[in-house]
Amino acid sequence: MTRMVIVAALALASCSKSESPKSEHIATTVVNKDPAAARKLIAAGATVLDVRTPEEFADGHLPSATNLPVEDVAQRIAEVDKLVGGDKTKPVVVYCSKGGRAAKAKQALEASGYTNVVNGGGFGDLR
């Protein structure tokens, strides 16, 4: 009987919520940047969002860019709406330093109904 209790306790302990980091689900963002398409859209007048920090933006940015840090995108969709004149089909180019934050911003914009968002990659890709 004691053996059965010990076996049951060990089995239950192995089912606890504390799993090893290897088995945890880690969300990833697919970058899929397209600087060439972004440059064409910018030349044609697309709305450009620099999703880096204000400090990074102050160190240099594209002349037509509006600074909207990636962590603020979802809360500031109304500002983006104004930039595109309320038309969520107008092209929007997002960029950061390498493309990762821009990918997250692109996802947030698409989740808000934007249909023509391009990840331009990094600032260096678009200069």
Residue linked to tokens 């983006």: 80
**Residue 96 annotated to the active site:** yes
* Spacing of C-alpha 13 from chain mean position: 38
Catalytic residue among 46, 92, 93, 96: 96
Distance CA 52, CA 92 (A): 16
What digits encode the pLDDT tens for the residues 1-44?
555 444 444 444 444 344 434 434 445 667 899 999 999 999 99
This prediction has a pTM of 0.78
Please give the average per-residue pLDDT across 94-111, as a whole number.
Answer: 97
DSSP class of 25: -
Residue 94 and residue 120 in contact, taking contact as beta carbons nearer than 8 Å: yes
What pLDDT, on a 0 to 100 scale, did the predictor assign at position 31? Answer: 80
- Report the mean per-residue pLDDT for the chain: 85
Q: Of the candidates 96, 113, 86, which has an alpha carbon nearest to the alpha carbon of residue 38?
A: 96
What pLDDT, on a 0 to 100 scale, did the predictor assign at position 28? Answer: 60
Strand partners, 118: 93
Please give the average per-residue pLDDT across 44-54, as a whole number.
Answer: 98
Secondary structure class of 65 (helix, strand, coil): strand
Instruction: Please give the residue that has the higher pLDDT: either 2 or 112.
Output: 112
